[in-house]
């Protein structure tokens, strides 16, 4: 390919990425060292925004909750996603319909799905699941105002929303495992458990890494679902980092754009730390294939 053709093909993507990713990133870093209001040039305040964020107990609670949610959801996604994918793989005619139905949860706008999900637990709007759980356990739960019941509900919603993606990816991975490998394992006397642990899962390690990568990125950005699911998130310690940024920087006409930017920079660092092992593995794998 000639150099000119190369730049003609890649140019538009580079421009879009520069305009929508690089420029906002540079501006966010710049604002994180400034006091900024809408429409006015910022004033340099050094590390003041970072100090304010890092000494705010509310930010600490938001980081804890976000990391907790990410770890729990990612673990559940991998286990349940794998089990469902194996189950779906064994289906025949029903398979496309089950997959299509599952995808509805994934393509629904986050806040719409979250509102519907919250009604399952809200006595005021029927609360079918709440009623069922009360009947089964003989206990009543304050799903929206007690910290742990609320966490359970938020985790359940996040898994419900993201699971179809994990299932689809893992299913593709399972179907990509060569039959020769399975047959060889069977001849060597591998039972079903060993087949999964020593043959199928190691073969699709790259796909599992990719599912982890996307899930971690998605859950670390949790924001709009908390509006219906955790209406007093701050008071019960179930506020996500992105919710904290919105509340600090924009809500009710707030104009702390500098502080919001500093928290965003800290979030980017946290995301990179969480993703580092997966990015490193993906790069290694790509290098090995090359």
Q: Does 57 help bind other proteins (rule: CB under 8 A)? A: no
| Member of 4, 252, 287, 289 binding other proteins (CB under 8 A) | 252
Look at the block and give the residue holding tokens 């999964």. 196
122 near 228, Cβ under 8 Å? no
| Member of 22, 23, 71, 235 binding other proteins (CB under 8 A) | 235
SS3 44: strand
- Binding track over 140-159 against other proteins, x by CB under 8 A: --xxxx--------------
Phi, psi of 44 (to 5 degrees): -65, 125
Look at the block and give the residue holding tokens 């979030």. 267
- Looking at beta carbons only, is 142 or 197 nearer to other proteins? 142
| Member of 175, 205, 269, 285 binding other proteins (CB under 8 A) | 175
CB burial of residue 27 (10 Å; 0-12, 13-18, 19+):
middle
Least distance in Å: CB of 172 to other proteins?
5
| Member of 4, 12, 38, 290 binding other proteins (CB under 8 A) | 38
Axis-axis angle for helices 23-31, 257-289 (nearest 10): 140
- How many other C-beta atoms can be found within 10 angstroms of the C-beta atom of residue 190? 16
- How many other C-beta atoms can be found within 10 angstroms of the C-beta atom of residue 232? 11
| Member of 17, 112, 132, 197 binding other proteins (CB under 8 A) | 112
Least distance in Å: CB of 8 to other proteins?
30
| Contact stretch for other proteins (CB under 8 A) within 10-18, 209-217, 252-260, 279-287 | 252-260
| Member of 12, 46, 57, 109 binding other proteins (CB under 8 A) | 109
Phi, psi of 41 (to 5 degrees): -65, 145
| Contact stretch for other proteins (CB under 8 A) within 13-21, 73-81, 102-110, 197-205 | 102-110
Please give the biggest Cα pair distance in the chain.
Answer: 73
Q: Does 290 help bind other proteins (rule: CB under 8 A)? A: no
112 Cβ neighbours under 8 A, 6+ residues apart: none
Least distance in Å: CB of 171 to other proteins?
7
Which of 213, 202, 211 has the alpha carbon at shortest distance from 279? Answer: 213
Would you state the structure tokens that stand for residue 57, as one six-digit string? 């107990």
- Binding footprint of other proteins on the chain (CB under 8 A): 37-40, 95-97, 99-101, 103-104, 106-109, 112, 123-125, 142-145, 168, 171-172, 175-176, 231-232, 234-235, 250-255
């Amino acid at each position: 390919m000639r150099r000119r053709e190369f730049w003609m093909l890649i140019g538009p993507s580079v421009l879009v990425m520069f305009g929508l990713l690089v420029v906002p990133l540079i501006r966010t870093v710049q604002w994180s060292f400034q006091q900024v209001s809408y429409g006015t040039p910022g004033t340099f305040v050094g590390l003041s925004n970072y100090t304010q964020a890092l000494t705010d107990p509310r930010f600490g609670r938001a980081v804890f909750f976000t990391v907790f949610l990410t770890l729990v959801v990612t673990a559940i996604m991998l286990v349940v996603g794998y089990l469902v994918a194996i189950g779906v793989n064994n289906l025949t005619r029903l398979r496309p319909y089950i997959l299509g139905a599952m995808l509805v949860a994934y393509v629904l706008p986050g806040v719409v799905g979250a509102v519907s999900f919250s009604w399952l637990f809200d006595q005021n709007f029927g609360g079918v699941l709440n009623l069922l759980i009360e009947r089964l356990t003989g206990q009543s739960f304050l799903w929206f105002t007690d910290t742990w019941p609320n966490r359970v509900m938020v985790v359940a919603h996040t898994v419900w929303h993201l699971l179809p993606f994990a299932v689809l990816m893992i299913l593709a991975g399972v179907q990509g495992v060569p039959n020769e490998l399975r047959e060889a394992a069977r001849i060597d006397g591998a039972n079903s458990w060993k087949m999964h642990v020593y043959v199928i899962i190691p073969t699709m390690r790259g796909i599992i890494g990719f599912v982890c990568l996307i899930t971690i990125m998605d859950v670390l950005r949790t924001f709009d679902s908390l509006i219906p699911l955790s209406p007093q998130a701050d008071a019960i310690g179930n506020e996500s980092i992105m919710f904290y940024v919105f509340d600090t920087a924009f809500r009710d006409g707030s104009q702390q754009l500098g502080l919001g930017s500093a928290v965003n920079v800290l979030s980017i660092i946290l995301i990179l730390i969480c993703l580092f092992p997966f990015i490193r593995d993906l790069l290694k794998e790509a290098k090995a294939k090359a």
